[in-house]
Amino acid sequence: MILAKTALITGISGQDGSYLAELLISKGYEVHGVIRRSSSFNTRRLDPIYKDPHEANTRLILHYGDLADGVSLTNLIRDLQPHEIYHLGAQSHVRVSFEIPEYTAQTTGLGTLRILEAIRASGVQTRFYQASSSEMFGAAPPPQNEHTPFHPRSPYAAAKVFAYWITVNFREAYGLFAVNGILFNHESHRRGETFVTRKISRAVARIRAGLQDKLYLGNLDALRDWGYAPDFVSAMWLMLQQSKADDFVIATGESHSVREFLDLAFDRVRLDWHQFVEVDPRYLRPSEVDHLRGDASKAERVLGWKPSVRFPELVALMVDADIQLLEDELAGRLVGVDRES
Ligand code: NAP
Ligand code: G4F
């Protein structure tokens, strides 16, 4: 009998974690995920693949843990001995990181070190993926690739730079198979509701339905390289299947402004965003990242990776999904999956 590969995913309840769990299960993996204790259910994105643990052949197993709690991570890694570890957990909101910088450094920065130390100290033979970010490039002019120097512009980005280098250091110092995926922004209808793309797509659905009349945003001139999250999680998997551990930029190679996102999103429902959008300074950042546009030619050459969804399609699919979601909510068609403790 061939034993299934096992993977451990931190941040499994987030956008990327949920898509990655689906991908790995479709490839025959047994997937273990770390979730935080929360006073309400925080595993909504896993509903499509969740099975009651009492059922036979459950391939998704959730464990309580926290990036600030090294003991929980060490115990899990030692007990599970996963073949692959995808470390996606983080306080991932850039604006919020200015308000909780110390917590962001604790989880987004030191969380990575805790996992790497757990791997090293336990001697578990595994492959480690670090969710590095294009935010690390910050003020460095585009196009950004694997050789572009980092210039972080937020506590979040500074924490990710630490996590990036500690991953490289454990690779060099201890020979761990540890890689950085430097991913540019990637979105979907599972994107957190306070990131700008999802904030806009949800607002479009609500404004169209007459439930909202204003949308307050910050900097409309920022340019981002926005891709589609399911495309990007397949690059994570590819990085851990290589014979040699290496770091890769993953991006679409195109950048668009928040204004352009607004144009396409409101056009989709034949509305003019100028009538609804107001700038609220509370959404501006003390220091902004003006322009991210990635050069993913190394990933194309080595991994054979290319994005399948481009900007106009991404905007359309997000708006359509939020319209459908709102209609389902209004019709009472949404029933969450209950799970035990
Ligand atoms: P996300 O939706 O915000 O998910 C973050 C995940 O981390 C959630 O599962 C969250 O749990 C978990 N988490 C947060 N704090 C934690 C803690 N203290 N202990 C344990 N788990 C904790 O982020 P995402 O968009 O999926 O991104 C995945 C990773 O890629 C993140 O590290 C992010 O920084 C990085 N990244 C994202 C992008 C992007 O464009 N999406 C680009 C580059 C890099 P809860 O559900 O309980 O909050
Ligand atoms: O959607 P955002 O909050 O994403 P941001 O800051 O680029 O960070 C995301 O992508 C990173 C990869 O580059 C990840 F590492 C990170 O975890 C996260 O997933 O903001 C995008 C742009 C910014 O320039 C922001 O200032 O949109 C601008 N913006 C304008 N109004 C706004 C708003 N952003 C948010 N969240 N909310 C607004 O009202």
CB neighbourhood size of 139 (10 A): 14
Q: d(Cα 330, Cα 192) in Å, to the nearest integer?
A: 20
Lookup result for tokens 């399911």: 230
> Apex CA 18: angle with CA 243 and CA 311, to 5°?
85
Instruction: Enumerate the β-bridge partners of residue 129.
Output: 86, 179
Specify the pLDDT at position 55: 81
As a whole number of angstroms, the distance between CA 237 and CA 41 comes to 27
| pLDDT of amino acid 26 | 97
- Backbone φ and ψ of 57, nearest 5°: 60, 35
Q: What is the pLDDT of residue 57?
A: 81
Q: Check: CB of residue 112 under 8 Å from CB of residue 130.
A: yes
- The H or E element that residue 248 is part of is strand 248-250
Regarding the beta carbon of 285 and ligand 2, being less than 6 Å apart is answered yes
Tokens 């643990």 — which residue? 53
* List 22, 30, 84, 135, catalytic entry: 135
Q: Whose CA is nearest to atom 25 of ligand 1?
A: 15
With a 6 A CB cut-off, is 135 part of the ligand 2 pocket? yes
Residue 30 parent element (H or E)? strand 30-35
Ligand 1 is surrounded, with C-beta below 6 A, by: 10-11, 13-17, 34, 36, 38, 42, 66-68, 88-92, 107, 131, 133, 183, 185-186, 192
Of 132, 133, 154, 188, which one is the catalytic site residue? 133
Q: Which amino acid is at 187?
A: E
Encode burial over 285-301: b for 16+ CB neighbours within 10 A, e otherwise.
Answer: eeebbebbbbbbebbee
What Å distances lie between residue 75 and 174, 175, 260, CA to CA?
20, 22, 47
222 CB less than 6 Å from ligand 2?
yes
> DSSP letter at 151?
-
Mean pLDDT by 10-residue block, N- to C-terminus, for the chain (341 residues)? 87 98 97 94 91 83 96 97 98 98 98 98 97 98 98 98 99 98 98 98 98 98 98 98 98 98 98 98 98 98 98 98 97 77 57
